[in-house]
Chain A
Amino acid sequence: MAIDVATVKKVASLSRLRESDERLEALAGELNGILGWIEQLNEVDVANAEPMTTAVETGTPLRDDVISDGDKVRDVTANAPKSVDGFFIVPKVVE
């Protein structure tokens, strides 16, 4: 199925990316090339194949339900684009 520019625009918006119209058009071509190449997976018989989500099967490890970390406000905000007194300063969200 070929991807048109409108679809690329929608995918960009879902990806929270903003691309120029020129670039969207080029991307449509690139994505079609990649997805066309990927279509060959349809040749594979995957009947009864369990989807593989992890390379090495291990149970989910559980740790003790205790506080083992914290008091790192300065560390957490150290790389914030803007912060004051341990708070993140973010753009106005509600008008």
Chain B
Amino acid sequence: MSDLTKMTLKAAVDGLKAKQFSSAELTDAFIGAIETANPALNAYVELTFDKARQQAAASDAKLARGEGGALEGAPLGIKDLYCTEGVRTTACSGILANFVPTYESTVTANLWRDGAVMLGKLNMDEFAMGSSNETSYWGAVTNPWKSRGSNAALTPGGSSGGSASAVAADLCLAATASDTGGSIRQPAAFTGTVGIKPTYGRCSRYGMVAFASSLDQAGPITKTVEDSALMLQSMCSHDAKDSTSLDVPVPDFSSFLGQSLKGLRVGIPDEYRLDGIPAEIDALWEQGIAWLKDAGAEIVRISLPHTKYALPCYYIIAPAEASSNLARYDGMRFGHRTDKAQSLTDVYELSRSEGFGKEVKRRIMIGTYVLSAGFYDAYYVKALKVRRRIAEDFTNAWNSCDVILTPATPSAAFQLGDAQKAADPVAMYLNDVFTVTTNLAGLPGMSVPAGLDSSGLPLGLQVIGKALDEGSVLKAGYALEKAAGFTARPDRWW
């Protein structure tokens, strides 16, 4: 029975359709796995087992009649950033600790339309601000992977740390996640899972708790590239409730898997060779280049000259948008309200200061500062112009290549409670050095597990594509996955 949890999403969906097992059996297997693992991993912050069993029963009835959607009966985990009707949604912030949405996000509504089953809500950094899942109001998530010969608890990355940990530990078939600067791809790389952020606007942001609206984008974390195509197919849609949602046809993502790479030009950006990056990551990158070449792709050297400015640019734009978005938490209409106030200003200031965590407050203040009179042009407008330069780098690169291959992260998973990263916010921010450029440019990016480092921890490679060309990203990602033959799994210590 426990083996059911080890299946891929694709195998599970096919098995359900072939009536090899029922959704009720599959769901119960995951419930058992979560009950065993969650006290150790803290991946789920809200369990919805009753709802899961009801959805599973409904799916089994449909499947028995030979009906059902593309994900019928498949148990998933949902990042706590997606509003789920009647199920507490906190974005892992104290200010939303008791928030129960009366509506459903479009992305999750699409998943339920296609028959998916919800096991619960997954842990994340508070408001998705973090790269180690340590800023969560509900406590850090632990990575199921451990360094060889060490018992130290490692981060699963962030902000989608709960999603990555749950998928890697077989606590759901697949999970929703979201990516503002790397929050899908970095945790996927740290846990040996696949994470894809589609083109900005592919998925509706309706019902996703907002962090930085011009950068936030939904996407899945899955066990395989094939599974990510399946999840993405369901998650993407045009939505009138999100004015930035793209009114374009969604292609059949699975159709790109296994296509020949002949004629595909793969760009290798010089500027991604950074000082101080472990030699193992450079070696894996070289290996990835060789794999794609063997598969028929043409390798092209490219230049993305403004790469080094992407992170500082991001740390103006994202906090600026966050300070504006998070102004809605005022203790009046929803969210935490202080009981210590003497004046109206007290209500605002104390409710917010009690409700928000340290990193969120820091980013609100950076955002407020760069938007304040006298600094708006010097910081905010400047960053918007640099963002244009970064996007132009990619536009120029597409003259000579079709996709870009880079490392996913500058390191493997690091220890929870890393003192240097806790003391220096910039050291933590550097986690997103390879991923943040695609958020600024709005491009699709995917992290694929490609190997293990010398201490046995997974490392990922990233494929970046042109806007709306997730197809080529999936095609190249699938080829990498096949060539890497990554089958390593974390030992079950929980």
Q: Within B315-355, which residues are at the interface with A (CB < 8 Å)?
A: 315-316, 323, 327, 330-337, 341, 344-345, 347-350, 352-353
Q: Is the interface of B mostly helix, strand, loop or mixed?
A: helix
* In-complex Cβ contact of A55 among B331, B361, B441 (8 A): B441
| In contact, A55 and B366 (Cβ under 8 angstroms) | no
Take A34-B426, A52-B385, A53-B214 as given contacts and tell me if A11 and B330 are in contact as well, using a CB distance cutoff of 8 Å.
Answer: no
| In contact, B100 and A78 (Cβ under 8 angstroms) | yes
Q: Is B158 an interface residue (CB 8 A)?
A: no
Q: Within A47-65, which residues are at the interface with B (CB < 8 Å)?
A: 49-56, 58, 60-61, 63
Q: Is A66 an interface residue (CB 8 A)?
A: no
Q: Which one, B28-36, B120-128, B159-167, B239-247, is touching chain A?
A: B239-247
**Complex: chain B residue closest to A49, CB-CB:** B385
Residue tally, chain B, CB below 8 Å to A: 70
CA distance A53 to B337 in the complex (A): 33
| In contact, B372 and A14 (Cβ under 8 angstroms) | yes
Mask, A37-81, CB within 8 Å of B = 1, is 110111110100111111110101101000000001011111111
| In contact, A27 and B353 (Cβ under 8 angstroms) | no
**Complex: chain A residue closest to B96, CB-CB:** A79
CA distance A53 to B304 in the complex (A): 20
Q: Is A33 an interface residue (CB 8 A)?
A: yes
Residue with the greatest number of chain A CB neighbours at <10 A, chosen from B100, B308, B350, B384: B384
A: contact size bracket: 35 or more
Q: Is B3 an interface residue (CB 8 A)?
A: no
Min C-beta distance of A81 to chain B, whole Å: 4
| In contact, B332 and A90 (Cβ under 8 angstroms) | yes
Q: Is B386 an interface residue (CB 8 A)?
A: yes
CA distance A75 to B334 in the complex (A): 11
* In-complex Cβ contact of B389 among A49, A63, A72, A78 (8 A): A49
Take A41-B313, A49-B389 as given contacts and tell me if A79 and B372 are in contact as well, using a CB distance cutoff of 8 Å.
Answer: no
* In-complex Cβ contact of A37 among B244, B312, B368 (8 A): B312
* In-complex Cβ contact of A88 among B98, B333, B381, B386 (8 A): B333
CA distance A74 to B103 in the complex (A): 12
Q: Is B467 an interface residue (CB 8 A)?
A: yes
Q: Which A residues are in CB contact (< 8 Å) with B98?
A: 79
Q: Which B residues are in CB contact (< 8 Å) with A33?
A: 424-426
Q: Is A5 an interface residue (CB 8 A)?
A: no
Interface pairs (17), CB distance under 8 Å: A8-B365, A15-B352, A16-B327, A17-B349, A31-B366, A38-B315, A41-B313, A44-B306, A44-B389, A52-B384, A52-B388, A56-B201, A56-B442, A61-B240, A79-B101, A81-B331, A91-B344
Q: In the complex, given contacts A16-B327, A49-B386, what are 15 additional A-B residue pairs having Cβ atoms less than 8 angstroms apart?
A: A15-B352, A15-B361, A18-B352, A27-B365, A30-B362, A33-B425, A42-B382, A49-B385, A52-B384, A55-B442, A56-B442, A79-B334, A81-B331, A88-B332, A92-B344
Q: What are the 5 tightest A-B residue pairs by CB atom distance, in nearest-first order?
A: A55-B442, A51-B384, A81-B337, A46-B385, A79-B334
Residues of A within 8 A of B (CB): 3, 8, 11-19, 27, 30-31, 33-35, 37-38, 40-44, 46, 49-56, 58, 60-61, 63, 72, 74-82, 88, 90-93
